[in-house]
Amino acid sequence: MSLILDKEHPVHSLLKSEGVRLHSEKEHSAEWMSPLSIGLVNLMPKKVETETQLARLLGSSPFPVQLELIRLDGHKVKTTSSAYFERFYQPFGSVRHRNFDGLIITGAPVEHMSFEDVSYWSELCGLMTWAKTNVLATMGICWGAMALAYYHHGIPKYELSEKAFGCYRHHKLSKSSPYLYGLSDDIVVPVSRWTEIRQRDIDGNPNLKTLLVGATGGPAIVEDATNGSLLIFNHLEYDWDTLKEEYERDTRAGTAIKAPTNYFPLDNPNLTPANTWRSNAQLLFWNWMGEMVRRKPVFNHWQAGVLQRAI
């Protein structure tokens, strides 16, 4: 299908070169299906890189998507210019009167802080409350998933003695979940975090269901059906070189960190790693968007049949 994205956005030309169909809103008007409106609250330091990763997964799906970037007023960053925010991001206050099909809340470099000490926590709480009634499906990634679990269910995060960092094997706990349809039973998932959510806390909450779990990293994907949320505690959206860049960044900064586990060939940082998770990441995002389609009250049976054949 296609992705509706501002032609001036830095992501546009890169995705187009990769074969992703990109349209303006006007060009898309001739398509047979109205696009899924998906808001992105990007809290990661490298804005364009994260936008590229997520837009690639959304834009390669069988569904047309209109991606809208949303900012929180309290989210101040040093790595992105205010002009960039003004040009491509809408403040949450300007969209809170609207409904969205999907919402993604990314990770953030604030893991060592308590949730309440994060400068934009109050505004993020307002957004998460708003999403319960104005968004069909919400996805949290890494810290964003932890924030959703904490805000809605009081699930705490725990500090790790060292960073969980590398590519770890995970297996399905719920093979019948529509979110995991088509994914391999055993998959590799990139992990990069200083905190964790513990399985016993998830198991103790009847509203939460673990779908994917790692042998060493605990719960990886959790469904929160009561709030229409999918909580992804790791980084299936990462590119092949994202962990490499994070490792080199931390090494330059003098941070005591080991090379990412099971990532570099022969555990040699001088060798080029491969992306072994992309196909599973694409299926997960496609399934997530498929759930939006099934929840849309105005979606008719004819369109559903066409999409089923397309998938």
Q: Which of 49, 123, 223, 237 is catalytic?
A: 237
258 is in an annotated binding site: no
Report the chain's mean pLDDT, rounded to a whole number.
89
Instruction: Judge whether residue 302 has pLDDT over 50.
Output: no
pLDDT at 83: 87
| Residue-wise pLDDT tens digits, 71-126 | 998 888 778 888 888 899 999 999 999 999 999 999 999 999 999 999 999 999 99
Establish whether 172 is an annotated binding residue.
no
Distance CA 172, CA 283 (A): 14
**Alpha-helical runs (H) found in 107-230:** 121-134, 143-153, 199-203
pLDDT at 62 over 90: no
Q: Which of 28, 142, 170, 196 is catalytic?
A: 142
Under CATH, which number does the domain 3-310 receive? 3.40.50.880
> Rounded distance, CA 116 to CA 125, Å?
10
What is residue 192's predicted lDDT score, i.e. its pLDDT? 96
Could you report the per-residue pLDDT of 204-214, keeping only the tens digit for each? 999 999 999 99
Q: How many residues are recorded in the chain?
A: 311
37 is in an annotated binding site: no
d(CA 41, CA 89): 9
Strands (E) across the chain are located at 3-4, 22-23, 36-41, 65-71, 89-91, 100-105, 135-141, 158-172, 186-196, 208-214, 218-224, 229-232
User: Which letter does DSSP use for residue 197 in this model?
Assistant: -
**One-character DSSP codes across 30-58:** TSSSPPEEEEEE--SSSHHHHHHHHHHHH
Nearest of 195, 219, 217 to residue 209 by alpha carbon: 219
Please give the residue that has the higher pLDDT: either 212 or 254.
212
Q: What share of the chain is helix, strand, coil (3-state, %, to 5)?
A: 40, 25, 35
Whether 167 is catalytic: no
